[in-house]
Chains A and B, each alone.
Chain A
Amino acid sequence: MDRQLLMGNEAIALGAIRAGIRLATGYPGTPSSEVLETIARERSDGLYVEWSVNEKTAVEVAAGAAMSGARVLTAMKQVGLNVASDPVMSLNYVGVKGGMVIVVADDPGPISSQTEQDTRHFARFAKIAVFDPSSPEEAYLMIEDAFNYSEMIARPVIFRPTTRVCHSYASVNLAESRSSHSQNGGLGFTKDGGKWVIFPKLAYENHVKLEETMAKLGQVFSDYPGNILLDGGKKGIAASGVSWLYAREAVANPGAGFECKQLKVATIPLPESLCLEFLSGLDEVLVIEELDPVIERELIYLCGRYGLKTVIKGKLSKHIPNAGENSPSGVKDAILRFLTPDSPQIIDKASSHEPRRPLPPLPARPPVLCAGCPHRASFFAVKEAVKTQKAVFSGDIGCYTLGNAMPLDMVDTCLCMGAGIAQAQGIHRVEPDTLNFAFIGDSTFFHTGLPGVANAVYNKADIIIAVLDNSTTAMTGGQPNPGMGKTLMGGDAPKLSIYNILAALGVDQLQRVDAFDFEAAKAAAQKAAGASGVRAIIFEGLCVALGKTKSPLKVDAASCTGCGACVRRLGCPALSIRGKGAAIDPVLCAGCGLCKYLCRFDAIGS
């Protein structure tokens, strides 16, 4: 048996390949991106994989393939599911033929997201079953179960890892590759008398079936091996996902001396009879889960419905924090307090806390644009061009959101993918004497930027669209996008021109400029600022992470006056003041030359 060190997302991908997927789609988003990248890397012939332009498209492509009998996977982060919600909601009514698993990675913390939304709620709202793995090993096997259940009920299911499953890793036993699963009635699209066309009458009929299916799953999931019940004591702990592992570490530790019943919940709908067996005879239960109290509410509901006196504790009772991610020590403390409220360990902990040596001052490290990032140059050009004018800078999702940090301070809004161009229009309607810039990256432009441009032209808005084209999807690790001339499968692809798209959408005041041609970039921003209507500037400059960096620059100590302008105005991580003058870190500097351009004393050179 092959044993490999796998990241959770790699385990999901290999499990899905093993389960016989024919097609995989998705849009990059932390913490989900490695699922599709791994499928692309490990795929064999006959498996098609793509980065779709957005999550809605990804689900629709996958839905078409699943309706045609193929096993399909689509992957996204939790906020991606918001974008895809329209097809997902309806698809669950229409159904699928081949198994379809929608991998939606939730991000407690959040570590790299706009929200701490809980996909389990969305699934309940949409009446979709959920599989919730706790580790890479479990994910590797569970993803195949998810496909099997999807085919059994002929509907999509959601597979919901969280960041600490996606980005944790473990030694995983890889099972023998299996012969491809038997296709549900073979591959190919069958017209099937209107089965695939959702009309109100069909929606009603399928709604009835859907309710029956979900009720039935609530029963059969009691036998699902991912749902586990361990016996013992008058108190119980229920947990899911990585919190189950934190709880097991606290309880299973030899010498902990804890006795309690333990329930691991890995599915929505909850396994009803297993939950009742768990609750039976218990005085109190502590529910440990991340994001929202979904299991907690379900257990409270079961207690009400069946007249049980068990007290359910968790997020609602403030025994578990209701925001942020859980930690091993936080879970251990909560369990200790729950199981042994009078324990000397707790008192010890409070009173005999070692007086630690006070920490020296530590630096805050907010994420920053890299040294050599073209976005810094573009932001700086616009900032210089309009510094005497009243301006609002709408931002969007990507590395360039980091342009909000001082000293650039060039991102005043960030809402969701593609929002900036439309938000700028709204701000301008209320405050017409303001210049309104909307910054958007190339991948985000293709994702959901286009409707905002069409809206602006059609409704005669007065905004400046600044496309920051760094020829990659940088924040998530450099995935290809439609503007790059290549796809996830490798090989050439048509290169969609942002310039031509803007022109076709009716933007006639259109400029394209090299972000590293500092004077030209500033002049382009000035020209746009002096006009009215819908204007656009495409700032082109390769992402520095793509590796094409120049030699680091140096400060000439004799010429440097120590004025600090380079350090103070650019916020470049390679620049600092050392002693009396500026210094450039040769490890970080990518030689972009923005500081050289800015220096009034010619003190920076190669």
Chain B
Amino acid sequence: MTNCLIVGVGGQGTILAARLVGMAAMEAGLSVRGSETIGMAQRGGSVASHVRMGGEIFSPLIPPGEAGVVVAFEPGEAVRAAEYLSPRGIAVVCDRPIQPAAANSASAGAYSAASCMDWLRASAPVLYEADGEKIIARISARCLNVALLGIAIGAGAFPFETKHMEAAIARRVSERYVKMNIDALRRGMALDF
């Protein structure tokens, strides 16, 4: 079984990313089970999508320490999710922070994304850092999710092949955005930003 945890901040596109991973696994003939965060947290809260692929799967939630791959759209959320990583797990982390509005308006001030990235460099068994500003500038904020999935595919984190993910994108994403997403996927795989 391969467990994939996708985390981020509500509104970043984690739900679609998880759907794509699940659909790609099904394209590859695997059984899939997973769970979403839907509701209030989608308004800027911490969100997590669990995807479990292959074999006999009972729980829709991944137990801590059992995620072979964590795809994090935000550095603070990556640190929050780190307890889920398995001892040889792969972390794909977008380094672009999203500061909570509360931190912006309170005297507490912003949290340090740099210290989160430092912590991940010291703690994650395998870490892929994605330059969020570059991805947004050179591809699109809308495709950040698929670009990150591309990095994870390139890292060999998933039990399916690129063609399965491309098929999932073609089925799920609305037609006029398919090309843009497949381009983002390939650039993610090639770490070409």
Contacts and interface: CB of A to CB of B under 8 A. Distances in A.
Of B34, B43, B59, B99, most A-chain CB atoms within 10 Å: B59
B188 interface: no
Give the size category of A's interface with B. Answer: 35 or more
What is the interface residue range for chain B against chain A?
Answer: 35 or more
A248 interface: yes
Contacts of B123: 356-357
Interface in B101-115: 101-106, 109-112, 115
B150 to A, nearest CB: 19
Contacts of B40: 30, 111-112, 367, 475
Contacts, number: 172
Given A362-B79, A363-B76, A242 B105 contact: no
A577 interface: yes
A406 B59 contact: no
A487 to B, nearest CB: 23
B179 interface: no
A478 to B, nearest CB: 12
B132 to A, nearest CB: 10
Contacts of A588: 11
A437 to B, nearest CB: 22
Contact of A168 (B34, B44, B136, B141): B34
B19 interface: yes
A171 interface: yes
A360 B59 contact: no
Contacts of A575: 101, 104
Interface in B94-152: 98-106, 109-112, 115-116, 118-119, 122-123, 136, 141
Contacts of A405: 101-102
B36 interface: yes
Contact of B44 (A112, A370, A406): A370
Contact of A368 (B35, B61, B101): B101
A168 B63 contact: no
A261 interface: no
A249 B100 contact: no
B60 interface: yes
B72 interface: no
B164 interface: no
Given A167-B35, A359-B119, A370-B43, A571 B60 contact: no
B112 A369 contact: no
Nearest to B42: A367
B4 interface: no
Contact of A360 (B36, B41, B106, B115): B115
Interface in A54-81: none
B35 A3 contact: no
A587 B60 contact: no
Contacts of A451: none
A446 to B, nearest CB: 21
Contact of B32 (A31, A169, A406): A169
Interface of A: 3, 5, 7, 30-31, 111-112, 135, 164, 167-171, 242, 245-246, 248-249, 252, 327-329, 332, 356-357, 359-370, 399, 402, 405-407, 475, 567-573, 575-577, 585, 587-588
Given A168-B33, A249-B63, A364-B102, 5 more contacts: A168-B36, A360-B119, A361-B111, A365-B41, A405-B102
12 contacts: A169-B36, A170-B60, A328-B59, A328-B62, A332-B63, A356-B123, A363-B100, A399-B43, A405-B102, A406-B105, A573-B100, A577-B110
